[in-house]
Amino acid sequence: MADRFKARARTATVAEKPALWKTMTAIWPPYDDYQKRTAREIPLVILERI
């Protein structure tokens, strides 16, 4: 069963995004292809426990 918790969502900062993007695309490589096919920046959302 998944862990349930209250959280606040925020967009990753410019400084956080490169490392998180690398981790994310290691899990799901098609995100790189998706980013290449769109002009918009794909945001990364971080959930912080509250």
- Whether 1 shows a pLDDT value over 80: the answer reads no
pLDDT digits (tens, 9 = 90+) for 14-42: 999 999 999 999 999 999 999 999 999 99
Nearest to 20 by CA among 47, 50, 49: 47
Residue 28: per-residue pLDDT: 94
48 and 8 in contact (C-beta within 8 Å)?
Answer: yes
37: containing domain: 7-49
Residue 13: per-residue pLDDT: 97
17 and 46 in contact (C-beta within 8 Å)?
Answer: no
Tally of domains within the chain: 1
Residue 22: per-residue pLDDT: 95
Q: Is residue 17 part of a domain?
A: yes
43 and 11 in contact (C-beta within 8 Å)?
Answer: yes
State pTM to two decimals: 0.75
Which residue reads 């400084």 in tokens? 15
Q: Is residue 29 part of a domain?
A: yes
Q: Is residue 2 part of a domain?
A: no
Work out the pLDDT band at 2, boundaries 50, 70, 90. Answer: confident
